[in-house]
Structure 1
């Protein structure tokens, strides 16, 4: 059983790499071994400290880090379910039109998937690397890094079967969450934030606000929303700790001190190359693993023995077939020592001879093919003895690669066809003719 450490950075400076750990303020709380944040009967107390004062109690501790949503683009994209197995490859292209910077500068993490809708979290790679380096210096290897809006998104997602929007307004941050997308504005722009919901009808709106946002301008917009069929659950953030049932599901701002978090319900930014190393649990039962490993090794040995016998038989058959084919083309050779070496010798002599037989044409074709064999692939080769010509069916990435081979073969070569295939690239046919 392990304990858990929750760390929240209310603010991250623009020059994180240049900011000493002694100047980075964070909030943290710990759970005891076997205890989760959800099982705490009273909201846990957050302690304020500097990053250089923070250190895990032991190597087994699970550590979860939250950062301001201001540094993270929380949005969603759509992709058919059949494409989800290739999600890592297609996700950057689905997010490209949502970015104002290059794809190479950001890290994209997929979160909750519901049907065709995929929750996406995007953060600057440089910021993520700098934060991980700061934590590593303190001996902290987090299991997850999350936006501080994630618990709010979870509250909005689980609150009702209706479409739900969540508004959070306190003295430091104003945030709107709708359809698993988060938009944050400065507190002085609170009226504009609420006005973003004017086109909403018949929706459930969860409103969390402190007293300074109980103003006539904001209340007027809220009345308009009620007249449009919206249900508004207005919760004050100035109540005492624990008075509000939803309070335990919300991440603290400067005006809050307590929270219970469910990290498994949040979208983790540590994916792909930033995924945390797996931990070894000492209480794992090793006997079943040892038995499974022994069975696996035994089955593997049986397979190797059986496959060895099978492949030896196959090799003997292939060797006999190769010798038969070699004697068909080179009946003058009495002894066969090395089929590969002897065949190359015949082809080399064929390059220096004239004539229209298959081996002579093949020997004359080989020098040009050697220059292009890394970019082209032969699917089939046919020799027409009456016309004294070789037909090559070739796959390539572009038509220009086929043209390059045809030009290298000279006037005796002709590109007969070239067809584009979305899966295979370009498939073409080249005729190489003798007697010219």
Structure 2
């Protein structure tokens, strides 16, 4: 019997980074190979996933190069919109999401990239809105440091408003292609865009492509800070959360959805997907062995380096077998506020050694077990209101296939997950309406 609600699933594409690139089954360099992503997307579509997602960074981590050279992290990757356009050709139903930063992209670039992807994919595009949260990114754009956290979110809100205005350049039926009359488009269906902000401006231009098949591509965010949660509550259709427990997931979802209500939005139009790193096997012992084999590849020095990025402090001089002194940490985060707060809370609550803290952070609370074990866990989160679904991550190449073959049937047996696609667009998968074009909105407003 089907559950009254059914969970949504997204696949975070594996780039075989960190220590996993050294695993015998991994293909180093796969993150720059289209066939790797195409295979992952095809497996996710076979599993009826809502979304295939490509994360991205607009910067290069290279300080210190002797450590980063051992733990790749966006060091050899394809640009998302380009890769997703190619992947659209080998898939037909699964949504295709990618990252573009509001801190350094112009609204027109974002609007055109994702509108084009929506046309190419016949209505399956999603834009993941990020503000860029690491100082090394700013170097590529002529700045020594990132703007402060508050300024980045002010700009992000303006960029999103301008992008949405650009997506409304044309009415749904503006392009007539009428050979007999010679009318290519109805000039009444064109709405030049003027947007003025403190950070971005559009001065009467517009998007030079017809309105997207979805009306507007789906908006994804991963707001962890108060400012991030507020922006997501005001504008996102889908959120990736970093909750690490049911209690944390419930608290996060309650907060964001209450902010939605306060902003005049229906909380039922938002889906929140916690990130779930998963190892599945035929027995609990086998799953644990697979997980330990991955952990054994982890290097303490590079684990500390990866965590130090989110703590915003150089930890290399500290002894590995002593706790991290709180007095060396910043009083608050400038970049990834939620990640910073999670690590500091762990230090305060448990005072772990630097080695244990770094391994806890980088190993990312991997969930492992049999199909039944993982379905039990996902059902617990889902029914408790800690998740509307999950953004799944697999370290090893076989991970998506094993999940689709083993866990998906178990979720379907429990009535928690679809047995076939009911829609052809990402908005349809998520149960979201198609936004009306400007003239329809104006006509409705005057009724």
Given the two structures, how large is their TM-score scaled by the length of structure 1?
0.25
Given the two structures, how large is their TM-score scaled by the length of structure 2?
0.24
From the CA coordinates, give the structure whose radius of gyration is larger: 1
**More strand per residue:** 1
